[in-house]
Structure 1
């Protein structure tokens, strides 16, 4: 990915950069998120600088969230336009997805020096929107985020479960998301069914990848142990 960013950053002019983006289905999201040639040129300077590596990764994540915010906005509009069974099936699922995104953003950026940044990235949909966004603005630790969700027991329980079971918060949220996907699939005869099916298949592929990766690491550790003998 870094090599691709370098290629874009070395583009002679903004026209070349935009031509690359406009050839992809997500070009509109990048443009609406104000991700332009200047951004990639600034990022390029930090790719090979070890001292700025963390800053580079953070800026790349911010870029991703800006693009995802535009994607969610368009996708919600599309589902509303479809109406009927599709909107009924997708409404709860999308609300959970975007609330999950909002909470993860707040937790991951607790140490950010820019207090206004997370608020700029929150999706504009879900059970938490817009009321909790203002509450999240002044929080500084994990417990305060959890306490702010007292009126949303489902999300608070997920955060508590991550602590008590020593799991990653994203892992807990993904497990919870499966129930929403299954509920969406059970509706059938709408686009929500297709979306939920593809999401579950993607999760399945991720799980297979993790299992294979674990097996490879185990074999590598076993080989090193044999060499030491």
Structure 2
């Protein structure tokens, strides 16, 4: 029944997003990009892909920041086409995809303001998918209550602020606590909404959101070592979903050292690959880049696998995540070319 009725409301947009997915860069494209000697060569190689002449109006010498900005602009245009043409419940599902960008924009702006950064510069760095009308007013907020009352009360993020008012003063630690509380509430809410959709969408999205929740739990644990955040406060920041919940979350909340984190995470068979050769986490310390790259690689694999099924909404989530990874990859290659760091140019995670 699901397959019979799906195309009535969402079949056209599923076809569009699968078309977007099919035009992503291939292994051959990445190989050609890594062989470029200059950013002008890079610009020419990119023009032969689906990105076309997206860099044609950028002045020489080409800035790597322009690569990321213009690629993001293309992504946003494609996403907004999907959202403009969507109807319920797909339109609401696509709205949920933007909430994480809203959270990141809020945290970026209040952190930058706290450190005296120029407001206009901060607004230019905000992700377009997370923009809302009252975002510029964030720079005047001095505490969480004022932030909520004057800026966020009429945004989709308002319900997620219920547990944030205990962190009244805006300092670096409290801002990170607020970020993690917002993500916790957001992921739990999105998870319940995905489950309510039923069918393949619910099955696939609960897997994808479970991984995202576990990744945040792992990062919170590692980043809390050496800070004034108590174990009780740390545990309250963990999302109550995911493969690690509840036993793994409870154990991580009590962890005191890196080796304990590794042993707990390895309870989940899917996560053993993160530490198979010990380069991600060791008793001597943490290589955050190695661990993050492995998480990205697992996320790419998961999104590729779960986007193969038809007649379900998770293809929209997976396409967005894979496209984000593609933008990170091409920006990394461009940066390595600009810095003449040829020995590191292949240190990216291709989303294909």
TM-score relative to the length of structure 2: 0.51
Deviation at 1:103, TM superposition (A): 1.5
Distance in 2, Cα, partners of 1:164 & 1:25:
36
Residue number in structure 2 paired with 1:185: 307
- Residue 183 of structure 1 aligns to a residue whose secondary structure is helix
**What do you get for the CA RMSD once the two structures are aligned?**
2.8
Residue number in structure 1 paired with 2:248: 132
Residue number in structure 1 paired with 2:221: 106
Distance in 2, Cα, partners of 1:123 & 1:131:
13
Q: Is contact 1:136–1:145 with CA below 8 Å preserved after alignment? A: yes
Deviation at 1:77, TM superposition (A): 0.8
Which residue, 140, 147, 152 being the options, matches 1:7? Answer: 140
Deviation sequence 1:133-186 (CA, Å, 0-9, x none): 221232211111111234223323303446269643122111111111011210
Q: Provide closer, same or farther for how the CA distance between residues 153 and 110 of structure 1 changes in structure 2, counting only shifts above 3 A.
A: farther
Q: Which range moves more in the overlay, 163-172 or 96-105? A: 163-172
Which residue, 30, 33, 42 being the options, matches 2:163? Answer: 33
Which residue, 316, 330, 351 being the options, matches 1:194? Answer: 316
Distance in 2, Cα, partners of 1:202 & 1:67:
21
Distance in 2, Cα, partners of 1:207 & 1:161:
24
Q: Is contact 1:32–1:70 with CA below 8 Å preserved after alignment? A: no
- Counting only pairs closer than 5 Å after superposition, residues 79-94 of structure 1 correspond to structure 2 as 79-94=194-209
Which residue, 177, 192, 205 being the options, matches 2:327? Answer: 205
Q: Which range moves more in the overlay, 120-129 or 130-139? A: 130-139
Deviation at 1:201, TM superposition (A): 1.0
Which residue, 61, 74, 99 being the options, matches 2:189? Answer: 74
Deviation at 1:35, TM superposition (A): 4.4
How many residue pairs end up in the alignment?
A: 201
1:115 aligns with 2:237: no
Distance in 1, Cα, partners of 2:242 & 2:182:
18
Segments of 5+ residues of structure 2 without an aligned counterpart are 1-108, 114-118, 120-137, 282-286, 342-352
Which residue, 298, 311, 314 being the options, matches 1:176? Answer: 298
Q: Is contact 2:280–2:291 with CA below 8 Å preserved after alignment? A: no
Deviation at 1:87, TM superposition (A): 0.5
Segments of 5+ residues of structure 1 without an aligned counterpart are 47-55, 220-229
Q: Is contact 2:214–2:243 with CA below 8 Å preserved after alignment? A: yes
Distance in 2, Cα, partners of 1:136 & 1:109:
11
Which residue, 135, 140, 143 being the options, matches 2:259? Answer: 143
Q: Is contact 2:306–2:315 with CA below 8 Å preserved after alignment? A: yes
Q: Provide closer, same or farther for how the CA distance between residues 94 and 63 of structure 1 changes in structure 2, counting only shifts above 3 A.
A: same
Which of the two has greater helix per residue? 1
